[in-house]
Amino acid sequence: MERVSIDEVDAVPHFMGANTHRKPLSRAIEGMGFAATYLELDPGEAFSGGLHTHTDQEELFVVLEGTATWETKAEAGAEPTLTEVGPMEAIHFDADDVYQTGRNESDGVVRGLAIGVPGSRHTWEATEALVDCETCGEETVFTLEGEGRMPDIEEMTISCTECGSEL
Protein backbone atom coordinates (compact mmCIF):
# COMPACT_ATOMS: atom_id res chain seq x y z
CA MET A 1 0.00 0.00 0.00
CA GLU A 2 1.18 3.49 -0.78
CA ARG A 3 -0.64 6.68 0.15
CA VAL A 4 0.05 9.95 -1.67
CA SER A 5 -1.37 13.43 -1.18
CA ILE A 6 -2.18 15.06 -4.52
CA ASP A 7 -1.13 18.38 -2.97
CA GLU A 8 2.40 16.98 -2.51
CA VAL A 9 2.80 15.76 -6.13
CA ASP A 10 4.85 18.18 -8.23
CA ALA A 11 3.01 19.86 -11.10
CA VAL A 12 4.44 19.07 -14.54
CA PRO A 13 2.96 21.40 -17.17
CA HIS A 14 2.05 19.91 -20.55
CA PHE A 15 4.99 20.17 -22.98
CA MET A 16 2.81 21.93 -25.58
CA GLY A 17 1.41 24.42 -23.06
CA ALA A 18 -2.08 22.88 -23.00
CA ASN A 19 -2.25 23.08 -19.20
CA THR A 20 -0.16 24.19 -16.25
CA HIS A 21 -1.65 22.40 -13.21
CA ARG A 22 -0.99 18.77 -14.18
CA LYS A 23 0.04 16.33 -11.44
CA PRO A 24 1.14 12.89 -12.71
CA LEU A 25 0.27 10.50 -9.89
CA SER A 26 1.93 7.60 -11.71
CA ARG A 27 5.29 9.36 -11.23
CA ALA A 28 4.70 9.68 -7.48
CA ILE A 29 3.70 6.05 -6.88
CA GLU A 30 6.33 3.43 -7.71
CA GLY A 31 5.33 0.47 -9.86
CA MET A 32 1.90 1.62 -11.02
CA GLY A 33 0.74 -0.42 -14.02
CA PHE A 34 -1.42 2.43 -15.33
CA ALA A 35 -1.17 6.16 -15.91
CA ALA A 36 -3.07 8.52 -13.63
CA THR A 37 -2.90 12.30 -13.72
CA TYR A 38 -4.80 14.89 -11.70
CA LEU A 39 -5.53 18.11 -13.60
CA GLU A 40 -6.95 21.53 -12.79
CA LEU A 41 -7.81 23.34 -16.01
CA ASP A 42 -8.30 27.08 -16.04
CA PRO A 43 -10.64 28.51 -18.71
CA GLY A 44 -9.11 27.86 -22.15
CA GLU A 45 -6.79 25.08 -20.97
CA ALA A 46 -7.01 21.47 -22.21
CA PHE A 47 -6.28 17.93 -21.07
CA SER A 48 -3.98 17.46 -24.11
CA GLY A 49 -2.29 19.39 -26.89
CA GLY A 50 -4.93 18.69 -29.54
CA LEU A 51 -6.90 16.03 -31.40
CA HIS A 52 -5.05 12.73 -30.96
CA THR A 53 -5.40 9.01 -30.44
CA HIS A 54 -3.20 6.42 -28.71
CA THR A 55 -2.79 3.06 -30.41
CA ASP A 56 -1.24 1.51 -27.29
CA GLN A 57 -3.41 2.80 -24.45
CA GLU A 58 -7.07 3.36 -23.65
CA GLU A 59 -8.04 6.46 -21.69
CA LEU A 60 -10.68 7.32 -19.13
CA PHE A 61 -11.30 10.93 -18.11
CA VAL A 62 -13.27 11.65 -14.95
CA VAL A 63 -14.53 15.22 -14.40
CA LEU A 64 -14.69 15.86 -10.67
CA GLU A 65 -15.70 19.52 -10.81
CA GLY A 66 -16.83 21.83 -13.61
CA THR A 67 -17.75 20.91 -17.17
CA ALA A 68 -15.26 19.85 -19.84
CA THR A 69 -15.97 19.73 -23.57
CA TRP A 70 -14.56 16.91 -25.70
CA GLU A 71 -14.10 17.27 -29.43
CA THR A 72 -13.88 14.00 -31.35
CA LYS A 73 -13.31 13.10 -35.00
CA ALA A 74 -13.39 9.69 -36.63
CA GLU A 75 -10.69 10.63 -39.15
CA ALA A 76 -8.81 13.53 -40.71
CA GLY A 77 -11.17 16.01 -42.36
CA ALA A 78 -14.28 14.62 -40.61
CA GLU A 79 -16.83 16.88 -38.96
CA PRO A 80 -16.17 17.20 -35.22
CA THR A 81 -18.57 16.03 -32.54
CA LEU A 82 -18.70 17.94 -29.26
CA THR A 83 -19.61 16.22 -25.99
CA GLU A 84 -19.93 17.96 -22.63
CA VAL A 85 -18.88 15.98 -19.57
CA GLY A 86 -20.07 17.42 -16.27
CA PRO A 87 -19.14 16.92 -12.64
CA MET A 88 -18.88 13.30 -11.53
CA GLU A 89 -19.16 12.06 -15.14
CA ALA A 90 -16.60 10.19 -17.21
CA ILE A 91 -15.73 9.66 -20.87
CA HIS A 92 -13.80 6.62 -22.18
CA PHE A 93 -11.76 6.08 -25.34
CA ASP A 94 -10.47 2.67 -26.47
CA ALA A 95 -6.94 2.37 -27.84
CA ASP A 96 -6.94 3.46 -31.51
CA ASP A 97 -10.42 4.96 -31.06
CA VAL A 98 -11.50 8.34 -32.41
CA TYR A 99 -9.23 11.36 -32.35
CA GLN A 100 -10.12 13.32 -29.21
CA THR A 101 -9.25 16.30 -27.09
CA GLY A 102 -10.92 17.63 -23.96
CA ARG A 103 -10.81 21.25 -22.86
CA ASN A 104 -12.30 23.78 -20.48
CA GLU A 105 -14.61 26.09 -22.42
CA SER A 106 -16.32 27.35 -19.26
CA ASP A 107 -15.61 30.39 -17.07
CA GLY A 108 -14.69 28.25 -14.05
CA VAL A 109 -12.02 25.70 -13.18
CA VAL A 110 -12.36 22.08 -14.31
CA ARG A 111 -10.84 19.46 -12.00
CA GLY A 112 -10.44 15.92 -13.22
CA LEU A 113 -8.48 12.72 -13.57
CA ALA A 114 -6.95 11.22 -16.70
CA ILE A 115 -6.34 7.47 -16.49
CA GLY A 116 -4.59 5.40 -19.15
CA VAL A 117 -4.07 1.62 -19.33
CA PRO A 118 -1.99 -0.42 -19.81
CA GLY A 119 1.29 1.02 -18.66
CA SER A 120 2.23 4.00 -16.54
CA ARG A 121 2.52 6.07 -19.74
CA HIS A 122 1.85 5.83 -23.47
CA THR A 123 4.62 5.84 -26.03
CA TRP A 124 5.00 8.79 -28.39
CA GLU A 125 5.43 6.45 -31.36
CA ALA A 126 1.94 5.05 -30.64
CA THR A 127 0.35 8.52 -30.73
CA GLU A 128 -1.23 10.06 -33.80
CA ALA A 129 -2.51 13.63 -34.03
CA LEU A 130 -4.69 15.55 -36.48
CA VAL A 131 -2.95 18.70 -37.70
CA ASP A 132 -3.52 21.16 -40.54
CA CYS A 133 -0.56 20.40 -42.80
CA GLU A 134 0.79 23.49 -44.59
CA THR A 135 2.28 21.35 -47.37
CA CYS A 136 -0.82 19.19 -47.99
CA GLY A 137 -3.20 22.11 -47.49
CA GLU A 138 -5.60 20.05 -45.37
CA GLU A 139 -5.95 18.30 -42.04
CA THR A 140 -3.83 15.14 -42.02
CA VAL A 141 -2.55 12.53 -39.55
CA PHE A 142 0.79 13.33 -37.95
CA THR A 143 3.03 10.94 -36.02
CA LEU A 144 5.03 11.94 -32.95
CA GLU A 145 8.48 10.84 -31.85
CA GLY A 146 10.14 11.91 -28.63
CA GLU A 147 12.15 10.72 -25.66
CA GLY A 148 10.84 10.62 -22.11
CA ARG A 149 7.51 11.31 -20.50
CA MET A 150 7.19 15.01 -21.19
CA PRO A 151 9.92 16.08 -23.64
CA ASP A 152 10.64 19.63 -24.72
CA ILE A 153 8.61 20.44 -27.84
CA GLU A 154 11.87 21.32 -29.62
CA GLU A 155 13.03 17.71 -29.09
CA MET A 156 9.92 16.18 -30.67
CA THR A 157 9.64 15.08 -34.29
CA ILE A 158 6.08 15.62 -35.56
CA SER A 159 5.63 14.40 -39.15
CA CYS A 160 2.78 14.31 -41.67
CA THR A 161 1.95 10.75 -42.74
CA GLU A 162 0.83 12.00 -46.18
CA CYS A 163 3.80 14.09 -47.34
CA GLY A 164 6.47 13.65 -44.64
CA SER A 165 6.75 17.35 -43.78
CA GLU A 166 7.65 18.16 -40.19
CA LEU A 167 6.25 20.80 -37.86
For 48-74, how does the pLDDT look when each residue is reduced to its tens digit (9 = 90+)?
989 999 999 999 999 999 999 999 999
Distance CA 158, CA 71 (A): 21
Q: Whole-prediction pTM value? A: 0.91
Write down the pLDDT at residue 151: 66
Residues 6+ positions from 137 with CB-CB distance below 8 Å? none
Distance CA 10, CA 6 (A): 9
**Which residue ranges of the chain lie beneath pLDDT 50?**
none
